[in-house]
Amino acid sequence: MIVAGVAAAAVASVAVTTGSAGAQSTRGPKDSYIIANIEVPGESTLATPQFGDGANLGVANAKKAGRNIQYERIPAGAINASLAEQAFLQGSAKSPDAMIGLTSSNVFIPVGPKVAASGVPFIALASPSEGVADGTSGGDNIFLIRPLNEQTYSSLLEYVCTDLKKELGLKDVKIALNTVQTAFGATVQQVVNREVGNYKNCSVVTTQTNSAVANDLTQQTLAIKDSGANVILSANFPNPTGVFVNQLRQNGVTIPFVGGASLNFAVDAGSIQNLDNIWASDDCVPELEKDKKAKKFVKQYTEEYGYAPNYASAQMHDIMQMLSQTIEEQGHDPAKIIKGLSKINYDGVCDFKADDNHVLGTSVTIYKYKGGTDKTKQLKKKVILQELGEEEIVIITTTTAAPPAG
């Protein structure tokens, strides 16, 4: 999704207030200084625009509401942990009120302990199990904007084994599980294998894996074709997802393909040639939300940037609102800001409520693309998530991990 490819010293800034951002004593009650460690297109081959555009619109809308955000962006991607750490240290040295970043488990797991030790109020854009409040890479100051991967794929598995089974009239659901060779994929594989037995006539008949940078999945495609599977459940990266769907279709494998947020990024990028029989899930799907705030946001965002927003666009927008409101209420003391974030219950374009794990995401939305070249999303189910207990959280011992899009 977002991949490191530039030096951490390259800084892109959007100044909304004036004066010395680093001097907390000079910031008024409606002023906040927020730094994001994210990339935008042109800084790597896989960077996408949604994170940056969502942040910029969030800053503009906060200003309209009377809250002045000085927003600074220090690029950091999802693959290189060393560059991500440099970007974080560069940002935290400026004494911001809050920071945003850790765009994948790949950087979250190794860099999280440094973030936790800093005490800087921080909202992470990935949600590995290790990042929960008492996790090995989590901390009191770190909040996860997205649901845990366990929550997302437990919900998707239930949907496949029950709702989709009924919709397609399947007697048996035979799943071809596709996972990326990272901690994200390993977590999903463990969750699916642990829970698939809970559902009648639902099983995994083959598991096919690929690297995060795979550009040829012929072997996996042919293995699925020969497996007897009638549904594919995928936990992958955006680029391999696009390649995989196309190769499946080219080889006559037209069974339902069900994926996470990476699938949406692949579709938005125009990487998938035919959208027939494709289901996806996101933490939040702005265009499928019914309330006025979401409809207004979709209209404003589309007019401003020329394309429809996805979950990342909405989350970055809402993060700017949550942080600036919390800073206005709590002042510039990091401990008070953290306390305020721990009690967040925010109704924005998306909905967020902090649980004891410091996970803010509250739901998973499952939808189907209309098909062909039509990217219209058809709502299938919105799942309200329950907080996971310690025994339900999967910890994978590995040196690699996954990006935020599941």
Residue 57 has pLDDT above 90, yes or no: yes
CA angle 91/96/98 to nearest 5° reads 100
Domains and CATH numbers, the chain: 12-147+289-353 (3.40.50.2300), 149-282+365-392 (3.40.50.2300)
Nearest to 202 by CA among 148, 166, 235: 166
- For residue 160, what are its two tokens? 């496949």
Q: According to the model, what pLDDT value does residue 2 have?
A: 32
Q: How far is CA 277 from the centre of its chain?
A: 23
Q: According to the model, what pLDDT value does residue 358 have?
A: 97
- Kindly tell me the burial class for residue 87, based on how many C-beta atoms sit within 10 Å of its own C-beta (0-12, 13-18, 19 or more): buried
Q: If you average pLDDT over residues 198-210, what whole number do you get?
A: 98
Return d(Cα 274, Cα 245) in angstroms, integer: 8
Confidence bin at 391 (pLDDT 50/70/90): low
Residue 386 has pLDDT above 90, yes or no: no
Query: How far from 178 is each of 90, 99, 209, 248, CA to CA, in Å?
Result: 37, 33, 6, 12
Residue 24 has pLDDT above 70, yes or no: no
Indicate yes or no: pTM above 0.85: yes
Per residue in 237-249, pLDDT tens? 899 999 999 999 9
Q: Kindly state the percentage of the chain with pLDDT values over 90.
A: 80
